[in-house]
Amino acid sequence: MIQSIDSFSSRLIRWQRQYGRHDLPWQNTRDAYRIWLSEIMLQQTQVATVIPYYRRFLERFADVTALAAAPVEAVLESWAGLGYYARARNLHRCAQQVVVDHGGQFPGDPRLLAELPGIGRSTAAAICVFAHGVRAAILDGNVKRVVARCFGIEGFPGTGKTEKEMWALVDSLLPDSEVEIYTQGLMDLGATVCTRGNPACAACPLHDICVANRNGRQAELPSARPTKILSEREAPVMLLTDGHSVLLERRPPTGIWGGLLALPEVVPESAEAFVNAHACRLLQTSELPPMRHTFSHFRLTIQPLLCRVEKTGRSTGEPGWQWVAIGEIDSVALPAPIRRLLLQLC
């Protein structure tokens, strides 16, 4: 094991210099704001998807002060389509806390940074490595896959016992120098070579010390998440449209889809009263096929009711409601299943 650990970091550093990624828009900078933004966007999202969002976001919010001063609705709009909107809400809260509690400067201590909203231990380490050159270990999903395969670690990485074992290992793997190159190499290897499906083992600098490669266990490691029985929920929603725009409701700031625009939850029996209350005349209703969406703890069946209406011209005057033009649906912050539904029908 000692020989494997010693060669692990040196091999990664050499490999990253020659084959790693060097021209991503958030590389070659010490700006903690830009590094932090990229790390949050890259959580559960591919690099190719993130790049255009990252660039547009910086055009609108150039620094942490600008982001902190913006309304959360504007942040969600800039995040629209990127998904996992809790990241955007935490991003906004974190920016405000950095400005208020840290004078607009991100802490250089990973332990302090990890206390901020949306920043865990691994993300804090990555930010401090790239922004401040701190010697700290990361353990994101890609790294878990690399070390599970290379060192033959059993058990689902999301369990406390296995994760604790992995943290001890990645701490021991840290080189004494060139930590930034090493850390980027870990990220690059997991993203481009040691992928979840069809890993390119022949191109991997660790192939001859990798337990999974030696024993043909690439498909088994890391261990899969244990099967969990999800509860079922239903949500009747109303798609109220005059053919030009759709009525959407701003969700409460907490809970599922917090702060996003969404279709109102209305049972079919209350459709006409709801339409009248929003200054419209009901022309036609039709039930649409149900949509299923899976969350981490439950499955949601969305039962949409399409209501074609004619506006009477009177404003409801109620906060939280917004008529959105059909041509602008793709640019507002919507839950993924609601976006898919609207884009299919409108």
C-alpha radius of gyration, the chain, whole number? 24
Q: Which domains does the chain have, with CATH numbers?
A: 2-215 (1.10.340.30), 231-345 (3.90.79.10)
Token readout for 272 is: 């006409």
- Residue 151 contacts by C-beta under 8 Å, 6 or more apart in sequence? 1, 4, 169, 211
Which residues are registered as beta bridge partners of 38? none
Going residue by residue through the chain, which has 346 residues, state the pLDDT in tens, using 9 for 90 and above.
544 566 899 999 999 999 999 999 999 999 999 999 999 999 999 999 999 999 999 999 999 999 999 999 999 999 998 989 999 999 999 999 999 999 999 999 999 999 999 999 999 999 999 999 999 999 999 999 999 999 999 999 999 999 999 999 999 999 999 999 999 999 999 999 999 999 999 999 999 999 999 999 999 999 999 988 999 999 999 999 999 999 999 999 888 899 999 999 999 999 999 999 999 999 999 999 999 999 888 999 999 999 999 998 765 556 789 999 999 998 899 998 999 999 887 6
Q: Which helix (H) or strand (E) holds 37?
A: helix 32-41
Per-residue DSSP letter, 279: T
Return d(Cα 329, Cα 307) in angstroms, integer: 17
pTM: 0.90
- Residue 217 contacts by C-beta under 8 Å, 6 or more apart in sequence? 149, 152, 211
Burial class (CB in 10 A: 0-12, 13-18, 19+), 294: exposed
* Helices and strands of the chain, counted as H and E runs: 14, 7
The residues assigned a catalytic role are 39
